[in-house]
Amino acid sequence: MIVTLTVAALAAPTQAELAATSVKPEPLVEDAFEAIGLYQARATSTSVGTTNPLLDGQVIGTLGGSNGTTVMPEGSAEFAEQRFNAFLTWRPVALDGRAELGAAFEVDMAFGDQSYAVGGNTGGAFGGDQVNLQTRRLFAAFSPRIGPDASVEIVTGLQLVTDGAHNPTGASPDALFRSGGRLMVVGTEAAGVTAYGKVFDSFGERLRWRLGAYTLYEVAFTEPDDVWLVAADLDVEVGWRTHVGVHSWTLLDRSGGGAGVLGVGPTSALSEMQGGPRLDLRAEGELEAPDAYTDVFWFAVDAGYDHTLSVGPIGLSGVAVVNVGRIYAGPFDRRRIAGGLVDGEARWRFASGRGSVARVEGLWTTRDDPTDPSRYGGVVTANTWGIAAATYGTHGGLLLFPDIKAINRQSAIVYDVSGRGEGVIAANTTVGYDVIPDRLNTTAGVAHARNSSGVPWGTELHGHVGFEPWWLVDVGVHGGVVLPGSRSLVSGLTTASGTSAVPWAMLLTCDWILL
């Protein structure tokens, strides 16, 4: 329930178009300005702590990895956080609803963290007065008239970019997480131009498509050292509530891996921090890593039957992705990229209420063979180029995979579906029941993951209770624990004496969508 409210707010819906008429009418009385807000607050008690004070404002990435997080063998960490997102849209009535300006801003902090300074993700200390407003999106959208059976919207500027054909401005959570690449490949903001289109017939919406090009990094304005992403997606309704999508995404990195604070690309510290691959391309005897240039091409096919659970009790969805390309680390060093993933999910609404759903999901990703230095055989995602740029979000857990409702501390054992290049074999299931339909929900789940060689990442048990006392206000209690056992793949989960340390977390949350 909280996931639905949160992601629905992040994908703010648009108004209906102003009615066209051949006779000049009186000015329509209609709001030209729309504002939607999302307020989140959470109190956390957890055994996961950070040993790096420089990352206290925002902790992202792999548990036990280079982000400095570890599991404390004794005691726990307690803290509180809050975030507010504002989504603003201005539609001048004089333009007949054919153009709009959109923006999104964010302020978030941990209670008591910092004050009287400048910096994002902080500002909750005594006195406040922190300069901490962050720009999430700033774009203009135009909708030219092209006929009664088709529509086109052109979006230019800083915008939310996903790995599917849906325009995220008006898409539902299920449309984003259960079609296209399911946000496992790309799901964050980028600056560029996108064209979204739809085609209609007598049965309704038959086809949707997207074409987009984005500049991820402009390293030097006078040099050909940029990072580009180009996307093409097509989604077709082939039958009653049944869709099939085909997708192609291309990323060209000419930065040499030097963009951003931690570098970018499959040889970067950024990729390693977020659970992606970090390849060592140094020649034998060399101490300094060479500049790395990367071409990655993703090709995906997805399909679903009532994947939004909007017309019946059964929903099915799945996707298969192949990534290929090259990494250039010198005039004679060209390493192939060839990997892929498959994910499938089935859901059953067995009782009344939007939370009364049982689901089961499986994920498989390929692994790299370290004995073959000419080829990287694992998965590559946008986490290799940006912070929290791709998220596996349908598992329902808190620790084994990323908690998608996290504010500033999002750390997981398997943060990226590449599994650090070692691959992932995972299964997870949840069962939710609305004790009071659409008002009081209980959910329990279990998730297990191991690398593609069969060595376990871990097993998580988790549970949630959510209550909606007022419309669009949700409060909840959540808990999760990774069971003791073999977790040799994860550093930071054993104490100095070699005994096992158990990751666990308890959360008290409040989410409020303001319309």
The percent of residues in the chain predicted with pLDDT above 90, rounded, is 69
Give dist(CA 507, CA 368) in Å, integer.
Answer: 36
- 446-503 pLDDT, tens per residue? 999 999 988 889 999 999 999 999 999 999 999 999 987 645 455 556 544 455 678 9
User: For 6-24, what is the mean pLDDT?
Assistant: 37
381 pLDDT band, cuts 50/70/90, is very high
Report pLDDT for 50.
82
Q: How confident is the model at residue 326 (pLDDT cuts 50, 70, 90)?
A: very high
pLDDT given at position 147: 83
pLDDT of residue 501: 77
CATH of 2-12+34-514, one of 2.40.160.100, 3.40.1480.10, 2.60.40.10, 3.40.718.10: 2.40.160.100
Highest mean pLDDT out of 97-101, 116-120, 308-312, 344-348? 344-348
pLDDT score of 4 more than 80? no
DSSP string, 267-328: TSHHHHHTT------PPTT--SPPP-EEEEEEEEEEEEESTT-SSSSEEEEEEEEEEEEEEE
Q: In whole numbers, what is the pLDDT of the chain averaged over residues?
A: 88
Residue 215: pLDDT band (50, 70, 90) is: very high
pLDDT value, residue 203: 77
Give every CB contact of residue 49 below 8 A, 6+ residues apart in sequence.
Answer: 69, 70, 71, 72, 77
What is the predicted pLDDT for the residue at 500?
Answer: 62
Give me the percent of the chain exceeding a pLDDT of 70. 89
DSSP state of 453: T
The 10 Å Cβ neighbour count of residue 491 is 13
Please determine, for residue 33, whether its predicted confidence score (pLDDT) is greater than 50: yes
- pLDDT score recorded for residue 14: 37
Residue 420 amino acid letter: R
Give pTM, 2 decimals: 0.89
In tens, the pLDDT along 171-204 reads 999 999 999 999 999 999 999 999 999 999 877 8
pLDDT tens digits along 405-428: 999 999 999 999 999 999 999 999
**Residue 26 predicted with pLDDT over 70:** no
